[in-house]
Structure 1
Amino acid sequence: MVSSQSLNARIPAYKNAFSSGELQKTYQDLVGVVQNLRTEFSKRYETEFSVAAILHGYIDFTYFYLQNEYLKRKKLKLALVFNHQHANFELWLLGQTKDVQIQYWNKLRGAKWVNPEAMPAYSVFEAPLLVAPDFDDAVKLTETVCSQFELLLQEILELLEASE
């Protein structure tokens, strides 16, 4: 939701959000969770995927890219995304360029994760991976994200193969 207030009018709430230090600490801890997942993915899937570095330049998403030979040939990649607004994990299918993204969005419009009305700003689609993560149990969180990733990956690959 975009505020209709001026930037100056929004500054007090912004300063207030930072005043206790909780926001910064929580953000850093969540980025750490994604970093640990990236490390686990690098180890667990090293023969199947190249795993890029963590990207977290914006407060709304923290993510890393995954790509295998199949996706690379199609000029696609996956992103394992932590959505800070919803505090959940998502798996996004992305094109290497906007044109590739549009091409696959059009090709996959009937698929379950694809919004037929409008393409997302950054992806072909954004599939829910883990809606209610338990951040207090790191081992369980990692195992759940990995198992959900494997299930979704299989569905996505089948979807892509069926679209050819």
Structure 2
Amino acid sequence: MNFDPTLLETYHTLLRTTELQKAYQEFIRLFRFLRNELERQMPDFRFQSSITENAMDYAYFSFTNPDLKENGLKLVAAFDHKNFQLEVWLSGVNRTAQYRWAEQWSVCPPPMELTQKPNCTDFVVRLPVETDLSDGGKTVAAVKEAVVQLLQLLP
């Protein structure tokens, strides 16, 4: 198997000439704090045991409560690295549940976004979270507010 030497050299240069590694470590520290603090402040929810890092596409963790679980839903806190955007998703526990829920909604209030392809995306509805990521307390509060907004969509 061969790999792109130009991309590998670009990565090497970035590691050598920037604070990329330290910056990514700081992001992971922030995202773990967010997960742990939400778990502490939201005892009615059960959280995925750790964060998932997905090759710098998305980092995420999921959480659910009995009502969501009964309806085949979960919440996901996701960070889109390319767009540098924190989001909260309302997602199906699997594609079947996700498709079923996507069929029930034709629109959602902005800035929420309803999936156009429930069989291809990992969310039914996603909501961008506007916050100063350097302030952990404000970020936790903003995610909790997004959760409240998304839960209001449910019947």
TM-score range, shorter chain: 0.7 to 0.9
Q: Output one character per residue of 1:123-159: Cα deviation in whole Å (capped at 9) or x when no partner.
A: 11221112x5242xxxxx2332232233222222221
Could you say if the C-alpha distance between residues 118 and 45 of structure 1 is closer, same or farther in structure 2, counting changes exceeding 3 Å?
same
Equivalent position of 1:36 in the other structure: 33
Equivalent runs, 1:1-150 vs 2, <5 Å: 7-20=4-17, 22-46=19-43, 48-52=44-48, 53-112=50-109, 113-115=112-114, 117-119=116-118, 121-130=121-130, 132-135=131-134, 141-150=135-144
Q: 2:39, 2:47 within 8 Å by CA — same for their partners in 1?
A: yes
Q: 2:133, 2:139 within 8 Å by CA — same for their partners in 1?
A: no
**Unaligned residue ranges in structure 1 (runs of 5+):** 1-5, 136-140
Deviation at 1:78, TM superposition (A): 0.6
Q: Output one character per residue of 1:6-42: Cα deviation in whole Å (capped at 9) or x when no partner.
A: 9344333233223335212111110110111111112
Percent of residue pairs identical: 22
- Aligned residue for 1:92, secondary structure, equals strand
- Aligned residue for 1:93, secondary structure, equals strand
Distance in 2, Cα, partners of 1:8 & 1:16: 12
Question: Highest relative contact order (Cα 8 Å, sep 6+), 1 or 2?
Answer: 2
Task: Give the TM-score of the pair, scaled to structure 1.
Answer: 0.78
Distance in 2, Cα, partners of 1:51 & 1:124: 19
- Aligned residue for 1:159, secondary structure, equals coil
Task: Give the TM-score of the pair, scaled to structure 2.
Answer: 0.82
Count how many residue pairs are aligned between Structure 1 and Structure 2: 149
- Aligned residue for 2:129, secondary structure, equals strand
Shift >3 Å, 4+ stretches: 6-12, 114-120
Deviation at 1:116, TM superposition (A): 5.9
Q: 1:88, 1:133 within 8 Å by CA — same for their partners in 2?
A: no
**Unaligned residue ranges in structure 2 (runs of 5+):** none
